[in-house]
Structure 1
């Protein structure tokens, strides 16, 4: 943190707090500055170096951002939003898409229960970076059960972000405000599951209004949690069934990055078994001990990374470099 609390910064801190607590509320800007320093929290001020360029043009850009951890706003991010009570299908699709994207993009979300939690945790498990934008102050991580996840995000090279003063409670009105930052920091937003009047739709509409890409994961037509994604698709959002649906729209800086970054032990095992000759799924299954369903998924992921290719005879081979 820059050590000096200038009059201009103090004015921004007060104006920011007034937008949260109301104009008449007392606010100790100097005390807030000291508390941030004690917590290791950085303050980014609108109009100063270090403030995210993607947020600056927004008419409702946050006056102040509180950041804990390593924040590299120049990196391209992909946001994941969805239901707090997702179906097993929604969780599975989130894990799949995040695993596929984590090597190219920062994964952004809101640290909420459900899809947000799944996205953050999967990004960390994949060796990627994730940003969590909170609807509360950084001294009051919400929901409380995600406190350990928040610490893991910071330890994993990502960060926690909030526009709310450090001790701000997670009030309902905070979350739509939070959503505009999730969308604003991201090159695109993926909606996994949500009802027709959900916060996921709000985030998607904010993303579209900000000129960002919007993707939606199609779900079963008879599921209430498919309402938001299917509505977005009908309005022109791109379907996101796998990373293949997202790749064509990636920013140029991400087009040549490896996908997804680090190989899991199971991927390495398959590559070793393939050797220099093409082999069938049956042969690979017998030698690896993996079931057909899991093996097929792993081969697909290796195809996405351009490491394996399907060849005639329902066989797979290492792709020549």
Structure 2
């Protein structure tokens, strides 16, 4: 009732107009939960963002992603683990999600980019306000390499300590699971881990030497059964048996054959296949709405595309191309 009253009494449309103009000026775009690009995983969390600003490849929002988080002041061990796990995740075509903060976040984004992987940076500021400023070059490289920068804060919003816990629920909510590399008992990484646990996401924790106080939070997450101890990336991937993580060299179909196969399809089949290719992972109902094809006909087309090994079905009536993109 109060929110309805607030909505009815809202009259600051000049501010809305300014935000829209600034969004266009900086080359960003907006999505809401009503848009097909809005990720289903975020719809599952408490208080999903009503509006998201983004730059880059919005399709990454529906990709298989793992959040990599940790202290802003990592030890040499923490740095090494962040790089090692990130590289291995990227080798298995996992999208790396983090917050572009100092420390582990920065290392994870950079390690991913160095391996030509895909990464999503979720900001605690407006999408045009990179914080820390020293990471501007990473933000630029993320966009150059077709990654994604995301924020629920309007353009121009300055970084504020209250924004970061809010941001962290998106980091965890977008992911299949959160990898905690190194953290003390308090701080943003512990907030993200606990948010992930509450969101029914997997929480993976790298163990630490008992003398390393920077890893106390990791030990407590394991001790409290909030997180699962992991020694290698296989310990993470095995928790998602329904996903077909593969190295690019083991792709079921080579990129240079895909366009040729799609071109040979009948019109409706081609339309459906190209929609799935464009959206990475998409639900049956989304295809139905976009294609304007009868329910029974779409079911038949999807079966044909599966038999031709162009697409594969995932749990929950979701579909994706049967090759690594």
Give the counterpart of 1:83 among 71, 80, 90: 71
Residues in 1 aligned to 2:14 and 2:215: alpha-carbon distance in whole angstroms = 43
**TM-score, with structure 2 as normaliser:** 0.70
Q: Please report how far the alpha carbon of residue 252 of structure 1 lies from its aligned counterpart in structure 2 after TM superposition.
A: 2.1
Q: Which residue of 2 aligns with 1:240?
A: 230
For the 8 Å contact 1:104–1:260, the answer to whether it is kept is no
Alignment length, in residue pairs? 243
Is the alpha carbon distance of 1:49 and 1:125 closer, same or farther for their aligned partners in structure 2, counting shifts above 3 Å? Answer: same
Is the alpha carbon distance of 1:104 and 1:261 closer, same or farther for their aligned partners in structure 2, counting shifts above 3 Å? Answer: farther
Instruction: Give unmatched runs, 5+ long, in structure 1.
Output: 1-10, 16-22, 263-321
For the 8 Å contact 2:37–2:58, the answer to whether it is kept is no
Q: Between Structure 1 and Structure 2, whose CA radius of gyration is higher?
A: 1
Q: Which residue of 2 aligns with 1:193?
A: 182
CA RMSD of aligned residues (A): 2.4
For the 8 Å contact 2:53–2:150, the answer to whether it is kept is yes
**TM-score, with structure 1 as normaliser:** 0.71
Instruction: Give unmatched runs, 5+ long, in structure 2.
Output: 252-325
For the 8 Å contact 1:100–1:260, the answer to whether it is kept is no
Q: State the Cα deviation string for residues 50-96 of structure 1 (Å, max 9, x = none).
A: 21111113231111000011122221100000000000100000000
Give the counterpart of 2:202 among 213, 222, 236: 213
Q: Please report how far the alpha carbon of residue 146 of structure 1 lies from its aligned counterpart in structure 2 after TM superposition.
A: 0.3
Residues in 2 aligned to 1:251 and 1:45: alpha-carbon distance in whole angstroms = 30
Is the alpha carbon distance of 1:54 and 1:144 closer, same or farther for their aligned partners in structure 2, counting shifts above 3 Å? Answer: same
Is the alpha carbon distance of 1:27 and 1:76 closer, same or farther for their aligned partners in structure 2, counting shifts above 3 Å? Answer: farther
Residues in 2 aligned to 1:186 and 1:157: alpha-carbon distance in whole angstroms = 18
For the 8 Å contact 1:82–1:193, the answer to whether it is kept is yes
Q: Which residue of 2 aligns with 1:95?
A: 83
Q: Please report how far the alpha carbon of residue 48 of structure 1 lies from its aligned counterpart in structure 2 after TM superposition.
A: 2.7
Q: Please report how far the alpha carbon of residue 47 of structure 1 lies from its aligned counterpart in structure 2 after TM superposition.
A: 2.6
Q: Please report how far the alpha carbon of residue 26 of structure 1 lies from its aligned counterpart in structure 2 after TM superposition.
A: 8.8
Q: Which residue of 2 aligns with 1:171?
A: 160
More helix by share: 2
Which aligned pairs between 1:48-63 and structure 2 lie closer than 5 A?
48-63=35-50
Q: Please report how far the alpha carbon of residue 157 of structure 1 lies from its aligned counterpart in structure 2 after TM superposition.
A: 1.1
Residues in 2 aligned to 1:132 and 1:192: alpha-carbon distance in whole angstroms = 17
Give the counterpart of 1:180 among 169, 173, 186: 169
Instruction: Report SS of the residue matched to 2:40.
Output: coil
For the 8 Å contact 2:196–2:203, the answer to whether it is kept is yes
For the 8 Å contact 1:105–1:254, the answer to whether it is kept is no
Is the alpha carbon distance of 1:54 and 1:223 closer, same or farther for their aligned partners in structure 2, counting shifts above 3 Å? Answer: same
Q: State the Cα deviation string for residues 161-199 of structure 1 (Å, max 9, x = none).
A: 000010101000000000000000000000011110121
